[in-house]
Every structure is written in C-alpha cells, then in structure tokens.
Homo-oligomer: A and B are copies of this chain.
C-alpha cells in the first residue's frame, strides 16, 4: 500500500492540533485547517496537508505572526488594500474573500489587493469560495520562490505566478494554472522518485533542456507559450505584487530556504457579480450550453473524454469528501514526525 485515506474531519483535526500546539489561537487553527484541506479535496495535493511540516517549521522559526492584526490599509469604493500583518496566508485570503463578497454585492465588481501575506494553498480555493456564492472570481499571486528566468535570461527573477478564474455555473468552471509548463513541486516529486524530467519543463544556464532534477536548483522552469507565459508571469508580479507593495523579483524570499524571514507575499482578488449584466440563471444556461458543446466535440484519436477546467477537481472533491484524503507513506511519516515534535498524537496508520 502506497497511501492511506484519512477522513476530512480527521485531517482537519490533526492539522488544527498541530497549529494549536505551536501557539496558534484555536479559531485561527480551525479555519486554516479547513482551508488547507480544500486544496487536498481539489486534488492540489502539494498545497494542502503536505505543507503542514513546513508551516510548523516557519512558525517555530518566528516567520509567521500568530497574533496578527489583519486590516485594510486602504479602502476606496470597490477596492481595498489588505495588510496581512504576516499572518498565515489562509487567514489573509479568507478576509480578502469576505470583503470581496461584500463589495461585489455593493458595486458589482471589486479588486482586493493584499500584501504581507503568506502562502495560502491552491489558488483555486479562493475563487471557488466566490463562485459558491454566485460570483465570478479571478485570483493572482506572486509565488514564494523564484524558479523562472525572464525569456532569454538566466537569472531567476520570476515565480510560477498562478492565476485562477472561476465562473459560477453547475458545476463551477474553474481554471487554476501556474504560468510555467510544470510547477516546481512536480520537479521535486521527480527528484524524490529518481525520475528524469521531460523535455520542455526546464532549461539550464546554457539554454539546453534540463532533465536531471538534481540540477534543477540552477535551472529555469519554462513559461507556457515561451515569451507569452513569461509576459503573463511578469504582469501577475506587477498586479499582485508591485501594485500592493509586496515582494517581487529580487525581493522575493525563498520560503523553502528562509523560514524566519517575512515573505511579504502579494495577492490580488477580483470578484464580479454576474447578475449586474442580466439574469443569473440565463447566464448559467449560456455557460452550460458552451460546456455541453465542448464536451460533445469529436475527439482526437486515443482521447476518451474532453475535460472542462475544474471538472476533474469537482469530481475529486465529491470522492474525497466521501472516502477521505490520500496520504502517501512518505507524507504520513513526515506528518507524524512533525506531530511528535510538537507533542500531538500521530495519525493512526490503520485510520
């Protein structure tokens, strides 16, 4: 057996206990746990409970403010600049979503920028929260480690800056992509498994394909569509980072290396109420028609099914809500080592 399944409630409780053990207020620990598991439910396994040991390490090193005053530095009309006060990123984004819902209802659309945040899990989590209350959501974030050079360059000045977009249909249509061909987590996973990287993921400083993940640290991830993805990553750096006074480029703190330094993570959230443009049900109907037409397209040889963005995540969420979240043997070990260090009971292998 390579992995076990643990129930959502068990996983949330385990996470909560670990955070409380290192001094996080219980109400915050509970919310962070719930939001972390949302990443696991959607299949973003590298962004959920997998991160617990590194979060705990950062908290122990003093790199997270456990008693933050998350507040709006500025608020004007349909906009707000949120100061996360170096809290757990999930708490910052939860506050951003709360305000975005309020403002989108009042003004039809809003843009919430944030700074002094931290890693908040999968980008999809926050646009899904907006779509679940009937809003269109767009989220952009500056990643917490630079693994990409500008197009034509060598210096690692850009992150895999993700963008997520959700449209409130049945089911929710939701795109969540890094602007690089592969996320860096996939490179780390290949390294762990002793596998080579496919061509097209990374290049070395000579511009040659980099396939040995052991050399990845000095290589650059390749952007989607060459210069186009580089441009998109840069624009996200400016809109989610520079605009909010968050860290970008040379100021980016590699959170895998420096657990004590403030990351000053920047994020941006746009929410739009589709009912300002007409009847909401008719809009959902129009989206459903497009989705149906695309699903029923003729297929390329060897293709079984055409997927809609978010479709796989929706199916996985249902499945994992019912049967539990998969924890690999290696992750189980890491989680239980983490728990032992802070005095929390281990996850029982036999569930």
Contact = CB atoms under 8 A, between A and B. Distances in A.
B110 A153 contact: no
Q: Tell me which of A110, A177, A229, A235 has the highest count of chain B C-beta atoms within 10 A of its own C-beta.
A: A235
Interface string A236-250: 011100111100111
A152 B305 contact: yes
A225 B224 contact: yes
Contact of A111 (B109, B232, B309): B109
Interface residues of A, number: 78
A231 B308 CA distance: 8
Nearest to A156: B297
Contacts of A239: 136, 165, 167
A74 B305 CA distance: 39
Interface string A150-168: 1111110100000001010
Nearest to A178: B228
When all copies of this chain in the complex are counted, the total is 2
Label chain A's interface by main secondary structure. mixed
Contacts of A152: 299-300, 303, 305-307
A207 interface: yes
Interface in A173-222: 173, 175, 177, 181, 203, 205-207
A25 B40 CA distance: 59
Contact of A243 (B74, B244, B283, B300): B283
Contacts of A207: 300-302
Contact of A79 (B107, B111, B113): B107
Interface of A: 74, 76-79, 81, 106-111, 113, 136, 149-155, 157, 165, 167, 173, 175, 177, 181, 203, 205-207, 224-229, 231-232, 234-235, 237-239, 242-245, 248-250, 270, 272-274, 276-278, 283, 286-287, 289-290, 293-294, 297-303, 305-309
